Chains A and B, each alone.
Chain A
Amino acid sequence: MEDIELKNIWKEYDRKINEAKLLNMQSWALAFRTFEYMQAAKAKSKLNALRGLKKWMVFAGILWIAFLLFLILNSLSFSNVFFLSSLSAIVVFNVIAVAAYVRHVVLINEIDNSESLIEAQQKMAKLQSSTLQIARILFLQAPFYTTFFWSQKMIAGNWAAFLLVSLPVTLFFILLSVWLYQNIKLTNADKKWFKILFSSREWTSVIKAIQFMNEIEAFKKESL
């Protein structure tokens, strides 16, 4: 088969398309005349949906942080030292996550489809893949959810229970969260625990985005 034959098949395909008198495309173009269509298309736009989701995450994050700060400010006393330090740590991790989501909204606004495919797709894939980085950071807050109810009174009152139950649970969560932080990466995407943890459709698209970033890098390389 010659090059010209490939192009001729494509031309024939083109001719057949132009022959088709009732292409849906024409009706879409006609429907485009109406303002309602523009609004519907805007709402349906994938990028707008992603922007909306990120804004919602920022909003929910701010509300959660505000609630935590309210609890902190209403519990300022030395007797609540475990509660205050645990909640403060959780606030720090959530502030980092909210800042990352704000950055995502900025990145979405910067995505320009008229840029070259490599530039635009790299930005898009980078945006999706950084969601995994946020998850890694948020896992680090897990141990603090096992310490906020500690108190000097509780420790002194039941020293054995503290040593045998509370402390091991917290140590377990510290080890688990640090391990997850270190091991949540694409090279582990084929592992069973990774698939269980990130099995939802949203996460699948994030994993695909990371894989696509690697594909883009390979595509950019000139090979002979």
Chain B
Amino acid sequence: MAADKESFLQLIKENKGIIFKICNSYCHNKSDREDLAQEIIYQLWRSGKSFDASYKFSTWMYRVALNTAISFYRNEKRIKEKVSFHEHITDVEDDTKASITEEKINLLQQFINELKELDKALMILYLEEKNYAEIAGVLGITETNVATKISRIKEKLKQKFLMTNE
């Protein structure tokens, strides 16, 4: 049991980045993000027994984390507000110079936030460089469908970036 807990903690540490990004993409305020992160960690622990070693760990983790985020997102009363990059990364040391990259990260995060729940999940997986087969496995749709949807969403995002540059 203790060994299980230690190895689970190690997995959480290794994958904290993705949990953090999922929370930022599905929640608009800090307290919701913290609640969601706790819920995801709890659900990962709880679902641990359902993990089939013949599957990729990341596929299983993305399924649990995204399912939890979508269920949580629909049930919470959400305040639609524009959140800055600095509010997302709450504990980053203060950097007063907002670089162009930070502005782009902020915009990308904002555009992802505006997507529908399932489109959002699809885009997160795409940006995490998962292949179409794995994305299809996480979502439960065909690879062709994944390809079509990704191309559409990417086009939308590019248009939004272009509009902000004009």
Q: Measuring CB to CB, which residues of chain A are less than 8 angstroms from any residue of chain B?
A: 1, 3, 6-7, 9-10, 12-14, 16-26, 28-29, 32-33, 38, 41-42, 44-47, 112-121, 124, 201, 205, 208-209, 212, 215-216, 219-220, 222-224
Task: Verify if B101 is at the interface (C-beta below 8 Å from A).
Answer: yes
Q: Are A10 and B139 in contact (CB under 8 A)?
A: no
Chain A residues with Cβ below 8 Å from B19 are: 25
Residue contacts A-B, CB under 8 angstroms, 25 given: A9-B101, A9-B108, A16-B85, A16-B92, A20-B91, A25-B20, A26-B16, A28-B37, A29-B13, A33-B5, A41-B39, A41-B42, A42-B42, A44-B39, A45-B43, A46-B75, A47-B71, A120-B63, A121-B67, A124-B71, A201-B77, A212-B117, A215-B116, A215-B118, A222-B144
Q: Once the chains are docked, how many angstroms separate the CA of A47 from the CA of B70?
A: 12
Q: Measuring CB to CB, which residues of chain B are less than 8 angstroms from any residue of chain A?
A: 5, 9, 12-13, 16-17, 19-21, 34-35, 37-39, 41-43, 45-47, 50-51, 60, 63-64, 66-68, 70-72, 74-75, 77, 85, 89-92, 101-102, 104-105, 108-109, 116-119, 121, 127-129, 137-142, 144-145, 148-149, 154, 157-158, 161-162
Instruction: Out of B105, B119, B149, name the residue touching A9 (CB < 8 Å).
Output: B105
**Distance in Å: Cβ of B20 to nearest Cβ of chain A:** 6
A40's nearest neighbour on chain B, judged by CB, is B38
In the complex with contacts A23-B16, A41-B38, A209-B74, A113-B67 CB distance below 8 A:
yes
Given contacts A7-B129, A119-B140, 13 further A-B contacts (CB under 8 A): A13-B105, A17-B20, A19-B92, A23-B16, A32-B12, A32-B41, A113-B64, A113-B67, A114-B47, A114-B60, A118-B118, A121-B70, A215-B116
